[in-house]
Amino acid sequence: MGHNRYKIQTLSLFIATLLFMVLMAVSFWNASLKSDIPLGPWPSIFLISLILSMISASLFYIAYKRATDPKLVEEEINTQVNEVRAQLIEEMNKDKEKVEDQDKRLILESTINKIIPKGNFKNSESLIAKLFKNLADEFQIVCGIYYSFNKQKKVFSMQTSYALQSDAKVADFKTGENLNGQSAENQDIIIVNDIPEDYFTVESGLGKSLPRHLCLVPIVSDKKTIAVLEFATFIEMPERANEILSAVASHVGEKINSL
């Protein structure tokens, strides 16, 4: 009801303004016809003022009509409500992503902590043996080889292994030679998800089986590759395997230097 009352008053004011301006124009025109005194630029100024006044009055009425139209008001309210709702949803999604990121970080740190060997070790062989056991518990690895760098021969040689066949022949390799050497040279973790059938063979009481996934992890200390860890597993490595193995390798590198 209030909107309708103001709407009628505004419409009445708008019509009265137009009538007043028209009457003023007619009076001014009659006066100019009957008067012998030259009016100069005033008729033009008055005409321009009349046009501008009519335009201003029209715009005011249109704006008021839009502001008091129930449908337009409802649409404006709905638009504002939708904008606020969208902002709230966006903030909620951001908070959810932060919580998920924190959860992933905690899981990642927990996994790394479980793999890193704990305790005191007499030598690097005992350290790597514990590391292989932890990797087997976490990633179900079935066999592995630990290569250490021989400074005299300038090659990487097998120092210890995990669940490897006793008659398996493991050749030395130089930096940059085959996948192991490339991992050592580039100091990058290499994960191969389709290794050749004759690369590793695992024997057990149930017969022979072939692991399909291979990981090569360089162990770096003082910006130099001092060892390479190679292991195979039947399961595909998790999404953040590189991040996990990189953190583990960094810790193991420090341990080896301290032994």
**Residue bearing the bigger pLDDT, 54 or 125:** 125
**Alpha-carbon distance 125 to 76, whole Å?**
73
Does residue 89 form part of some domain? no
Count: domains in the chain: 2
Does residue 106 form part of some domain? no
The predicted-structure confidence for 27-73, as pLDDT tens digits, reads as follows 666 666 666 555 556 566 666 766 776 676 666 666 666 666 667 66
- Section 157-180 average pLDDT: 88
Does residue 80 form part of some domain? no
CATH of the domain at 222: 3.30.450.40
The predicted-structure confidence for 182-212, as pLDDT tens digits, reads as follows 999 999 999 988 776 666 554 444 345 577 8
SS3 201: coil
Our measurement of the distance from residue 86's CA atom to the centroid of its chain's CA atoms, rounded to an integer in Å, reads: 20
Does residue 253 form part of some domain? yes
Q: Are residues 149 and 46 in the same domain?
A: no
The single residue listed with the structure tokens 């991992």 is: 183
Q: Write out the residue range of the structural domain in which residue 63 sits.
A: 2-68
Does residue 86 form part of some domain? no
Does residue 110 form part of some domain? no
Pull the structure tokens for residue 219. Answer: 């162990």
pLDDT at 57 (0 to 100):
66
CA angle at 125 for the pair 139 and 249, rounded to the nearest 5°: 50
Instruction: Give the start-end residues of each E strand in the chain.
Output: 141-150, 155-162, 190-192, 202-204, 207-209, 213-221, 224-233
